[in-house]
């Protein structure tokens, strides 16, 4: 068991290929979204992405040691249409963020620009028996990425952040005993997105994700960005604040990122 965590042990993400050769694969994530090279695909607009969430689908929140994770039984939370050829069921959401006073934090970048944080809503293809069966299949997962930008407070996300103090260490988990609809975390306009075939952004880096990156960021307050860093993780020097839990962009290789908008 590696001392510390995957971002801080050894050389971090640049060393992941030693244990996970797929890290240098053909459809890795995240990537930089060069808006001069994306391609509008009218088919994406013709068959709109359908995102359904419910009030009763979020059951618990856990400290995974590299992020928080709100876990769902997926009831009433399904994704279909757009780039997807089948129905995907919601499994969990988590986030990635940067350091105090830094501009980095997101995993995907847009024209080389980072956002301070990025939310991932993970869904699995219901053509497979369950999440575990889907995770390593080429069409197994669909992840909606929502950029966070500093602005007005987001009270909904604040309800989730209020639980952070209850999950101080890796493996700590508490039930969510209030209604929380993950749809609250969608940006006002969720019609405009980019999509491409990629991977998990943490080991095991399976090339199983259809990425759906929302163009419009979600506003949260600067304090809320700071609260992300009050989560704790193990480091080679003991337990400390969790931040810089993001993989920087990797080469796009032979892929075109499609846009749902012109
Ligand atoms: N950052 S990301 O959205 O790409 C991501 C990384 C890991 C997951 S997973 O928890 O679904 C998972 C899937 C397979 C094995 C272990 C965890 S989702
Ligand atoms: Zn993620």
Separation of CA 21 and ligand 2 centre (Å): 19
Q: Using the atom order of ligand 1, give the atom closest to the CA of residue 135.
A: 14
- At 3 the pLDDT is 60
Best residue for ligand 1 mutational test, from 89, 122, 128 (most atoms within 8 Å of Cβ): 122
Report the chain (262 residues): mean pLDDT per 10 consecutive residues.
78 97 98 98 96 96 98 95 98 98 97 98 98 98 98 98 96 97 96 98 99 98 98 94 98 98 94
Residue 226 contacts by C-beta under 8 Å, 6 or more apart in sequence?
100
Alpha helices in 5-87 (DSSP H): 16-19, 42-46
Q: ipTM score of the complex?
A: 0.98
- Could you tell me the end-to-end alpha-carbon distance of the chain, in angstroms, rounded to an integer? 48
Query: Ligand 1: residues whose CB is within 6 Å?
Result: 120, 122, 135, 143, 200-202, 204, 206, 209
Separation of CA 248 and ligand 2 centre (Å): 12
Separation of CA 81 and ligand 2 centre (Å): 22
Q: C-alpha distances in angstroms, 47 versus 9, 78, 156?
A: 44, 15, 29
Q: Using the atom order of ligand 1, give the atom closest to the CA of residue 29.
A: 4
Separation of CA 260 and ligand 2 centre (Å): 22
């Amino acid at each position: 068991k590696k001392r510390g965590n995957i971002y801080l042990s050894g050389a971090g993400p640049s060393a992941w290929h030693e244990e996970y050769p797929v890290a240098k694969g053909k459809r890795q994530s995240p990537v930089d979204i060069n808006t001069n090279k994306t391609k509008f695909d009218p088919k994406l607009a013709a068959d709109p992405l359908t995102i359904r969430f419910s009030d009763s689908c979020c059951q618990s929140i856990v400290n995974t040691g590299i992020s928080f994770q709100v876990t769902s039984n997926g009831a009433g939370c399904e994704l279909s249409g757009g780039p997807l050829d089948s129905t995907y069921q919601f499994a969990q959401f988590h986030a990635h963020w940067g350091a105090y006073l830094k501009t980095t934090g997101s995993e995907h970048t847009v024209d080389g620009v980072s956002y301070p944080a990025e939310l991932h809503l993970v869904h699995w293809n219901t053509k497979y028996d369950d999440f575990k069966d889907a995770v390593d299949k080429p069409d197994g997962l669909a992840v909606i990425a929502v950029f966070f930008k500093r602005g007005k407070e987001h009270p909904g996300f604040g309800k989730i952040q209020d639980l952070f103090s209850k999950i101080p260490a890796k493996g700590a988990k508490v039930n969510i005993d209030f209604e929380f609809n993950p749809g609250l975390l969608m940006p006002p306009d969720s019609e405009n997105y980019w999509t491409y075939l990629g991977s998990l952004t943490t080991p095991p880096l399976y090339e199983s994700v259809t990425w759906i990156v929302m163009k419009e960021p979600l506003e949260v307050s600067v304090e809320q960005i700071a609260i992300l860093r009050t989560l704790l993780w193990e480091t080679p020097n003991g337990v400390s604040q969790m931040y810089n839990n993001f993989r920087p962009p990797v080469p796009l290789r032979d892929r075109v990122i499609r846009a749902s908008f012109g």
